């Protein structure tokens, strides 16, 4: 943003610099709006000081005070309008270019300052947006033109992060189920009957810890559905990130999607509670 104080001190220099960007008229409009605002500031300060009376006011002073307050209210409204006009005029004024910057807007107008090494000669050169996964249209809707999002290049990286995230919760659920059965006795009995370790795990251990596995699966799904921070910081797209971006352009659709996710997670947790009650009932019987 342009330094307004410096522009006031050297308007001709700023006007000449911004003329190279075609923004001299915008600077003049800004300086005019700023001058109107600066004229009103001391007037408002003077009226505010007149509203402060010392001692018990006389009837004449009270009448004058009412008039001053009415003038102050009108002046403050005029000052607020002038400040809003100045802020509006400030938005389209760009920063002045450096003296060494060449005029022009295309690559042909640029001046090469120095070169380090030699550029490689590629058979099929590509733009940087074609090499990585860039989201240009979505970034333009959020932050304006000439901006892009670099999203994650592999979904397996995010999957690995989520495995680490849900591992403690899944371990706790499975460990609780394992603690309810005598794994050593069941395994030795199956082994004594000629079962291999694969058969012991798939046909003896897993059926006995089925509720724990379901609980781990439900908790993992619920955690992943509600996770936003990791995916956002690592530039990946998951459900919550998409809902967040959707809220910037379609708020109602974003709210509907969020409520649908909440209902789905609630159903999962209810199913988890039902599985847990069924397991405890089977153990009592």
Q: Where are the beta strands (DSSP E) in the chain?
A: 134-135, 149-150
pLDDT by residue for the chain (285 residues), tens digit each?
A: 688 888 888 889 888 888 888 888 998 999 999 999 999 999 989 888 888 877 787 888 888 888 888 998 999 999 999 999 999 998 888 888 888 888 877 778 888 888 888 878 888 887 766 766 666 776 666 666 666 666 655 677 778 888 888 999 889 888 888 888 888 888 889 888 888 888 888 888 888 888 888 888 888 888 887 788 877 776 677 778 888 877 877 788 888 888 888 888 788 778 767 765 655 555 555
User: For tokens 């240009």, what's the residue?
Assistant: 136
* CATH number for domain 155-284, candidates 3.40.50.1820, 3.30.300.20, 3.30.70.1350, 1.10.3720.10: 1.10.3720.10
Contact present, 7 and 30 (Cβ < 8 Å) = yes
Domains of the chain: which residue ranges?
4-90, 155-284
Identify the pLDDT of residue 36.
92
Please state which architecture CATH assigns to domain 4-90: Orthogonal Bundle (1.10)
What stretch of H or E contains 27? Answer: helix 24-50
For the chain, the distance separating the N- and C-terminal CA atoms, rounded to the nearest angstrom, is 74
Closest CA to 32 of 17, 15, 47: 15
| Beta-carbon contacts of residue 71 (< 8 Å; ≥ 6 apart) | 47
CA distance 231 to 222: 15
Q: Give 93's DSSP letter.
A: P
Helix (H, G, I), strand (E, B), or coil: what is residue 149? strand
Contact present, 281 and 220 (Cβ < 8 Å) = no
| Beta-carbon contacts of residue 232 (< 8 Å; ≥ 6 apart) | 240, 241, 244
User: For tokens 């936003």, what's the residue?
Assistant: 228
Contact present, 187 and 205 (Cβ < 8 Å) = yes
Q: How many CB atoms lie within 10 A of CB 120?
A: 6
Q: How many CB atoms lie within 10 A of CB 209?
A: 22
CA distance 213 to 177: 8
> At CA 136, angle to CA 131 and CA 140, rounded to 5?
160
User: For tokens 């079962």, what's the residue?
Assistant: 195
For residues 65, 70, 72, 78, the Cα torsion angle rounded to the nearest 10 degrees is -170
């Amino acid at each position: 943003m342009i330094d307004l104080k410096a522009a006031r001190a050297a308007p001709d220099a700023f006007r000449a610099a911004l003329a190279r960007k075609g923004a001299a008229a915008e600077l003049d409009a800004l300086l005019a709006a700023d001058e109107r605002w600066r004229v009103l500031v001391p007037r408002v300060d003077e009226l505010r000081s007149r509203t402060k009376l010392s001692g018990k006011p006389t009837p004449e002073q009270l009448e004058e005070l009412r008039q001053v307050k009415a003038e102050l209210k009108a002046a403050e409204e005029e000052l607020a309008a002038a400040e809003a006009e100045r802020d509006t005029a400030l938005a389209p004024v760009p920063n002045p270019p450096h003296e060494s910057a060449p005029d022009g807007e295309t690559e042909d107008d640029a001046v090469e300052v120095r070169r380090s090494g030699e550029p490689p000669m590629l058979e099929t050169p590509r733009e940087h947006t074609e090499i990585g996964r860039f989201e240009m249209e979505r970034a333009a809707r959020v932050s304006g033109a000439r901006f892009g999002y670099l999203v994650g290049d592999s979904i397996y990286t995010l999957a690995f992060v989520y495995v680490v995230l849900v591992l403690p919760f899944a371990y706790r659920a499975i460990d609780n189920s394992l603690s309810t059965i005598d794994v050593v006795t069941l395994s030795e009995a199956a082994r004594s009957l000629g079962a291999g370790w694969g058969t012991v795990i798939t046909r003896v251990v897993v059926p006995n810890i089925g509720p724990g596995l379901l609980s781990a699966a439900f908790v993992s799904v619920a955690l992943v559905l509600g996770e936003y921070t990791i995916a956002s910081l690592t530039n990946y797209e998951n459900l919550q990130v998409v809902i967040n971006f959707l809220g910037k352009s379609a708020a109602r659709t974003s709210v509907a999607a969020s409520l649908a996710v909440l209902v789905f997670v609630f159903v999962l947790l209810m199913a988890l509670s039902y599985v847990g009650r069924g397991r405890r009932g089977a153990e009592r019987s």
